Each structure stands twice: as structure tokens, then as C-alpha cells.
Amino acid sequence: MSAIRLLVLGAVRQHGRAHGYQVRNDLEYWGAHEWSNAKPGSIYHALKQMAKQGLLHAHEIAPSTAGGPPRTEYEITERGTEEFFSLLRESLTAHDQKTDVLSAAIGFIVDLPRDEAVALLKERVRGLEQWRASVTEYYTPEEGPQSLGHIGEIMNMWVSSADFGAEWTRGLIRRIEEGAYTFAGEGEPFVGVRAEGDENPYATGEPHEGDLG
Amino acid sequence: MSAIRLLVLGAVRQHGRAHGYQVRNDLEYWGAHEWSNAKPGSIYHALKQMAKQGLLHAHEIAPSTAGGPPRTEYEITERGTEEFFSLLRESLTAHDQKTDVLSAAIGFIVDLPRDEAVALLKERVRGLEQWRASVTEYYTPEEGPQSLGHIGEIMNMWVSSADFGAEWTRGLIRRIEEGAYTFAGEGEPFVGVRAEGDENPYATGEPHEGDLG
DNA sequence: GGATCAGTAGTCAAATTTGACCACTGCCGT
DNA sequence: ACGGCAGTGGTCAAATTTGACTACTGATCC
């Protein structure tokens, strides 16, 4: 699973109602074009697809206020909301995911209650630890570690990554448990979208030096 | 860029001449189905595509010795070899890549001379350091770090990942400089493919507990 | 007053990826 | 002697992703 569906669902959800370009802009505001495959084509495709699947409801709208082709506005449905939370929970707990999925999930983590967020992250750590154990056991050949040659470096990288990921997650859990950030049901939510007309301080036309590709 | 082209090119190259199923098997032997998108469809597609592009030469071959449809055998061309090394160098140095690309590159690193491998990895470290600097500078808002809210955790994750990646790479450089492994032009190369009929100790039908997905 | 550039909004063809499926062989148990 | 299953070798349709492109508005430059 790529991160695009989660990102798009979450963006539409925060707006209540949004057209493609708005979503596109939010994702850029979040830096998502730097760590995920959030290209225009993917976004519009995801919107259409999820509308077809009943996760979003499409409103055909008159020509836009500011040039360009007519826009379609989308609203998240109940099924869409369920799907959003399902994706979010899965993305937070599953260790076997690419970085972009986790990044996206962190971006929406405050849409969950604080307790649940912590519980899910703890499950993530457990998963990482288990996976680390199973990899080291499974890929440790009887002929000694040298029989793998440099291929062993790949295993080494996985295992180290797992350790790093677990450690980082523990840090995040600690911060959340100590009261950082504002979670669902704790009053004024964090505003993660720009108001109309607000300028985006992080957006530049071309990806800046240091793009994640 | 995904890792599949590098993997397939490298596999064919090591065999001298290989059919799709052989490639498929090598990749499984390397565990690539656990950390990359090396599914049958992708592999056969990549083979055909690269044959069309002149990177591989396709030999139409009689029905296989062991059941199933007729096989096509592929041989790497000169252009294919150039492409292989080009992809390999890029994958080793570029910090803005997904893990699967780096894993694949590590798997072929010994196809380079030792000096060059070290140089490329050092460049990787430089890239990571620079990128870290540019991200921290670029995404540090004037209103203080708290203005980003939990979104700051995403930046934090990137930056920590960069630090981890750099540190891991430094470790690898150290091991290589200390003489580990056998690189190009240093005699008997590491055998990374199974001989025909050899059984694969790491293959199971279903991905084992702890699949990277 | 025309060129051209940045911003708004989205489309399209081509390439790639996914996941399921086909067809055949040989072996193993009953 | 025959059913089923694992292994061999690959195809296919559908979904997704990519990268380039269209088309329009408003402002700015010279």
C-alpha cells in the first residue's frame, strides 16, 4: 500500500470538502512531495478512484473562481472515514512499510485519541522487535556469518534499521505520553491546512536542494 | 526509480545468460521479495522492457527442460552493462532513495573496485549530511519549533533517519576499508547465485513472519 | 501593448506494478 | 492407478504511477 490514499483521504477529511488542487496544495504544504509519490496524476487518480469506491462523494462544480478547468469537489463519506482510520491504524502499527506511509500516518496521528496513539505505537515497537528477532534467526546460516559474504550487509542494514525505528518510536511515545501535542477530543485541534489565500512558506516551484525524490 | 531494473540487470549479468525464472529465483535467494517489489510480473516486465531498450539481448529458446511454457533467455549487452554500473553508482550515492534501492546496490557493491565503492559511499555520507543541514534550515520556522506542531515529528524522523543512514554507511565504509569482502579484480568473486539444482535454504512458499511487504 | 511568467486546475499516454491465474511435469502417498 | 500437491515458467487484466502536457487568468516587464 502506498501512502497516497491515506494522504488524500486525510486531506479531504480536514477540509470537510475539497477539490483536487486544494489537496495537492495541502500535501505540498506538508512536504509530502518530498517524501511520497504525491504527484498531481496520483492525487487526481486517487480522488476519482476513491469516489468510485464510495469513500468520497464527488460534487460536480461550476468553473473555478480563479481560472483553469472546472473543478470537482469531494467530501468524505462515512465509509471513507472508516477507511481513513483503518489505514491510519495499520500504517502506524505495521513495521513492514515504507517510510512514506509512516510519515503520512504521523501527520494524522493527532486525529486519534492520545491513548490509542500510544497503544498503536507500542504495538509498532513490539512488531519491530519481533521482526528483528525472526530475521536474525532466519538469516543466520549454520556455516557461520561469513558464508553470506557482503550479502550479510543487507541483513545488517535491515536489522539496524529495525533497531533505529524502534528507538525512534520509543522516543515519540515518550513525548506523547508526556503530553505533547493536541489529540482528538482534547480541544482546539492542530490546524494542518492553509486557509484560502494564505501563503505557503514551504512551497517553492522546484523541489529544493535536498529533495527526497 | 525502483530497484527492479538494477536487480534484474545484475542477476542476468552474474549468470551470463539467464531466463526469467532463474532471475526470479536469484532474487528470492537474496531475499529481495522481502524488501523490494520483485514480483514475477515485475521481473518479466523488466526483462522484456530492457530487451526492447537494447540493454538485454533475448534468445528465444525451445521448450524448457522441466515443464512449463517455452523460455526466453537473456544476455546482457554492452549498453546493458553500462546501464548496470550507472544505476549501481547512482543507487549507492543518492541519499534520496528508498531502502530497496540501497539494498539492491549493496548486493552488487562488490562488482565495483574497492576504491570506487568506498569513494561512492563517502559521497553518500556527504549527501546525507548536506541534506540534513538543508532540511533543518529550510524547515525551521521563525515562529519557533512548536509552530509546526506534531508535523515537526515528520521532520524529526527524516533528520534522524539521515543521521542513522550516515552512521550506518560510515560503518560499512570502515569494514570495507579494513579489507572485508572480495571486490572486483581481487580474485575469486563472491558467488551470489545458486547453481542449477542447488536448493535454496531461504526460500519458503509463503513469505515468512516478518516480511517487509 | 505584446511577451512572458507565475499560479490555478486538471488531463493524458505511457510505463510500471500488482495479484491472480494458466499449463505443464514429476513425485508421493494410498 | 490416480488425486493432489509442489515446482517450473510464464501470462494477463486491472490498478497505479510517472512525467509531460493543456488551458486559462492575472500580473509584470520592457
What would the grid cell of residue A92 be? Answer: 502506524
Is A87:A7 a contact under the CB 8 Å cutoff? no
Between A199 and B127, the more confident residue is: B127
What confidence tier does A60 reach under pLDDT thresholds 50, 70, 90? confident
Closest partner CB to B134 (pick from A106, A181, A210): A210
Extract the C-alpha cell encoding B167.
552512521
> B213 beta carbon < 7 A from strand C?
no
What is the reported pLDDT for A63? 65
State residue B108's pLDDT score. 96
B68 contact to strand D (CB, 7 A limit): yes
Of chain A, the percentage scoring pLDDT greater than 90 comes to 60
**Interatomic separation, CA of residue A100 and C1' of nucleotide C6, rounded (Å):** 30
CB contact under 8 A, B154 and A107: yes
The amino acid occupying position A38 is A
Q: What is the mean pLDDT of residues A52-57?
A: 94
- Nearest alpha carbon to residue A182 among A125, A109, A126: A109
Tell whether A11 is within 8 A of chain B (Cβ).
no
Average pLDDT over residues A195-204: 41
From A98's Cα to the closest Cα of chain B, the distance in A is 8
Decide if B153 touches A, using CB distance below 8 A.
yes
DSSP label at residue B141:
-
What angle is formed at CA A140 by the lines to CA A134 and CA A141, rounded to 5 degrees?
140
Tell me the mean pLDDT in the region A122-137: 91
What is the rounded CA–CA span in Å between residue B60 and residue B49?
Answer: 15
What Å distances lie between residue B203 and A16, A139, A154, A200, B27, CA to CA? 48, 11, 17, 50, 10
Give yes or no for CB of B19 within 7 Å of strand D: yes
Q: Measured between CB atoms, does B213 come within 8 Å of chain A?
A: yes
The pLDDT of residue A177? 97
pLDDT given for residue B134 in this prediction: 85
Chain B residues within 8 A of A14 when measuring between CB atoms: none
pLDDT of residue A136: 84
**B51-81 CB burial, b ≥16 within 10 A, e <16:** beeebbbeeeeeeeeeeeeebbbbbbbeebe
The per-residue pLDDT for range A7-42, each reduced to its tens digit, is 999 999 999 899 999 999 999 988 898 889 999 999
Which nucleotides in chain C have some atom under 7 angstroms from a protein Cβ? Answer: 6-13, 15-21, 23-26
Residue A193 pLDDT level (bands cut at 50, 70, 90): low
pLDDT at A140 over 50: yes
For residues B172 and B160, give the distance between their C-alpha atoms in angstroms, rounded to a whole number.
18
Please report where in the chains the cell 480563479 appears, as a residue.
A66
Q: How far apart are CA A173 and CA A123, in angstroms?
A: 11
- pTM listed for this prediction: 0.85
CA A83 from chain centre, in angstroms, equals 14
Residue pair A4/A178 in contact by the 8 Å Cβ criterion: no
For the cut 70, the answer to whether the pLDDT of residue A92 exceeds it is yes
Q: What is the pLDDT of residues A158-189, one digit of tens each?
A: 899 999 999 999 999 999 999 999 999 887 76
More confident residue, B138 or A4: A4
Q: Which residues of B36-45 are buried (b: 16+ CB within 10 A; e: fewer)?
A: bbbeeebbbe
Query: Does residue A194 have a pLDDT over 90?
Result: no
- Left if phi > 0, otherwise alpha if psi is -120 to 50, otherwise beta: which for B181? left
Give me B115's grid cell: 576504491
| DSSP β-ladder status, A72-76 and B17-19 | unpaired
Instruction: State how far the alpha carbon of A185 is from the alpha carbons of A6, A107, A108, A189, in Å.
Output: 21, 17, 14, 8
Residue A192 pLDDT: 59
* Nearest-angstrom CA–CA distance, B21 and B184: 27
**Nearest C-alpha of chain A: how many angstroms from B38?**
15
| Arithmetic mean of pLDDT, A54-70 | 76
Output the CA torsion sign for A104, B143, B165, A25. Answer: positive
- Rounded to the nearest integer, the mean pLDDT of chain A is 84
Measured between beta carbons, the chain B residues lying within 8 angstroms of A140 are: none
Q: What pLDDT tens digit does each residue of chain B (213 aa) get?
A: 789 999 999 999 999 889 999 999 999 988 898 889 999 999 999 999 999 999 999 987 766 555 567 789 999 999 999 999 999 999 999 988 788 999 999 999 999 999 999 999 999 999 999 999 988 887 766 666 566 788 889 989 989 999 999 999 999 999 999 999 999 989 776 665 544 444 443 333 333 333 333
pLDDT of res. A196? 46
